[in-house]
Chains A and B, each alone.
Chain A
Amino acid sequence: MSAAPLIETKNVELFYGSSRALKGIDITIKEKLVTAFIGPSGCGKSTFLRCFNRMNDLIDNVRITGQCLIGGEDIYAKDVDVIELRKRVGMVFQRSNPFPKSIYDNIAYGLRLHGTKDKSEIDGIVESSLRGAALWDEVKDRLHSSALGLSGGQQQRLCIARAIAIRPEIILMDEPASALDPIATVKIEELILELKKEFTIVIVTHNMQQATRISDYTAFFYIGELIEYDLTTKIFTNPAKKQTEDYVTGRFG
């Protein structure tokens, strides 16, 4: 797989106060592929994911060192506009978090923020985003009813639609299916495989079968360190490190 590198980190370290949560992480993530972050709880994989759209900025007392490049630009440089960064790097969270607004307004929210005012243009993007998130057929007759009336799986697909509506390059997904039932999970996974044609996806998951089903590359984290990063097939069939093998075969973690 010879895709171009899109995200590159060099010796990224993250501190909560004085405790070091990420320890010198170097990784290169390629575009239009799915990269999975796996590892036991508290290993830093979600924290690392949140470095890519600077969501860690919201937490007091967090300090990040090293370099994090997206498309060759250091996103922690002084003159970086976080708003522009987050337009290019979308995010889907573990717990679906639709706004208590209509389905339509949930998707239009980001568009309106970034200055799209034309009604027919918004209508078009709402439809294409919902189609892109495989939700259109289920909600096309009730676009103006509350998003909170949707099922958990539908809400999560709505959040994906909301994220892709502003056309990011990268979509970060933080355990997007961990709160869903198996059927809803399958739908999200199928959606991810569809989305990677257009977007670069980085997904944190606790579910190792999920990582094998959807990802091209897998990174295994353990206590703040990147232990091994390689093609998913390699990580799960012939890992280089003993720790990785123990984890993917279920011997610890």
Chain B
Amino acid sequence: MSNPSPSASAARRFDRKRPDIASGLFTGLTGLATFGILAILATILGNILYHGLPGLSWRFVSTIPRKDMFEPESAAVLSMIVGTSIRVMVMTIFVIPIGVITAVYLTEYAASGSSYTRIIRVAIANLAGVPSIVFGLFGLGFFINFIGKNLDLLTHQSGPLFGKPTVLWASLTLAVMTMPVVIVATEEALKAIPPGLREASLALGATKLETILKIVLPNALPGILTGAILAVSRAAGEVAPILFTGVAYYMADLPGKLTDQFMDLGYHAFVLSTQSDNIEKTRPILYATVLVLLMLTFSLNAIGIIVRARIRKAMRAGH
């Protein structure tokens, strides 16, 4: 065969690149969307920092509000920092074990694909979509009026001890609300464990329970902590679920028992913005309170992230 004609070889050359307008547009669009999100975040944080920092002082975060909460000279948030921290921690203590056990049941024991398992999964997904005020009403109806009042009857209390808003009921209400996050994160972590590890353990004569406790759960720990971090982030700023279940407008002392009420940063921000008779004077306190709430949420998250990083490092090192 003779050499192909010049025109034929020209038709097969590579250097025929045309501008790909659609791809260029799409790249630009994704970048723009990302930039938009970052800009909104920066505006929110910048605004709070700018207006909140001047009101922030050591006295503000380290004293219990004694006199006028709306007066910049006497306003303080120690009670709210303590209250929010306690309700988040108590919630974590309840939500992690229950959520993890549920996820273990769903991934390791329940027959996958059965209609029963499907119904449970749909229920969990729906739980995640319930508005938080509904959880607040649920907490009031179930924890306080049903469990709490009956506990009081059973233990012959002279006055209401459990049948009223408390740290415990607020934390439990938040635990119910954040349960789906923990379940889903744990399930993902359990599914990501190579089946070979389970087989290896079983083939050595381990029972299913031993395999779950010694191989599956330790390896899922980082994923479980991700669930905990997400749950804490969601719960720390929520006000609606604690509205009827535990938060107080004002308390002279810090909460000392699980049956005490508590003050809360998010709720206090709501109080400052709606109950003040001089909103201009109160605004710096409001910003400072919101800034403290953000800092608290970030530090609670930071603890989770550091612990998770350490566990991952230890796992790589083989311990």
Contact = CB atoms under 8 A, between A and B. Distances in A.
A91 interface: yes
A95 B200 CA distance: 11
Contact of A100 (B111, B204, B205, B318): B318
A83 B219 contact: no
A166 interface: yes
A91 to B, nearest CB: 4
A105 B205 contact: no
A162 interface: yes
Given A109-B204, A162-B204, A100 B315 contact: yes
A159 B206 contact: no
Contacts of B24: none
A184 B177 CA distance: 53
Contact of A93 (B196, B318, B319): B196
Contacts of A162: 200, 204
Contacts of B196: 93, 95, 97
Contact of A99 (B202, B207, B215): B215
B197 A97 contact: yes
A55 B318 contact: no
Contact of B199 (A90, A93, A101): A93
B253 interface: no
Contacts of B12: none
Contacts of B207: 83
Interface stretch (A13-21, A40-48, A144-152): A144-152
Interface string B192-232: 00101101111111110010001100010000000000000
A108 to B, nearest CB: 11
Interface string A32-59: 0000000000000000000001010010
A-B pairs with lowest CB-CB distance, top 8: A146-B318, A97-B196, A102-B318, A110-B204, A91-B203, A86-B205, A87-B205, A97-B200
Interface string A80-106: 000110110011010101111111010
Interface of A: 53, 55, 58, 60, 83-84, 86-87, 90-91, 93, 95, 97-103, 105, 109-110, 113-114, 144-149, 159, 162-163, 166
A166 B206 CA distance: 12
B224 to A, nearest CB: 16
Nearest to A100: B315
Given A91-B199, A109-B214, 6 more contacts: A55-B199, A86-B202, A86-B204, A91-B203, A100-B316, A102-B318
B22 interface: no
Given A60-B111, A93-B199, A101 B319 contact: yes
Contacts of A103: 318
B318 A159 contact: no
A251 B119 CA distance: 52
Contacts of B252: none
B318 A105 contact: yes
A99 B197 contact: yes
B306 interface: no
15 contacts: A60-B111, A87-B205, A91-B199, A100-B219, A100-B315, A102-B319, A105-B318, A110-B206, A113-B206, A114-B205, A146-B316, A146-B317, A162-B204, A163-B204, A166-B205
A115 B308 CA distance: 31
B319 A86 contact: no
B317 A90 contact: no
A113 B210 contact: yes
A98 B203 CA distance: 12
B194 to A, nearest CB: 7
A113 B207 CA distance: 9
A80 to B, nearest CB: 13
Given A100-B318, A146-B318, A110 B199 contact: no
A33 to B, nearest CB: 22
B316 A109 contact: no
A140 to B, nearest CB: 16
A53 B203 contact: yes
Contacts of B111: 60
Given A83-B207, A97-B196, A99-B215, A144 B318 contact: yes
Contacts of B194: 97
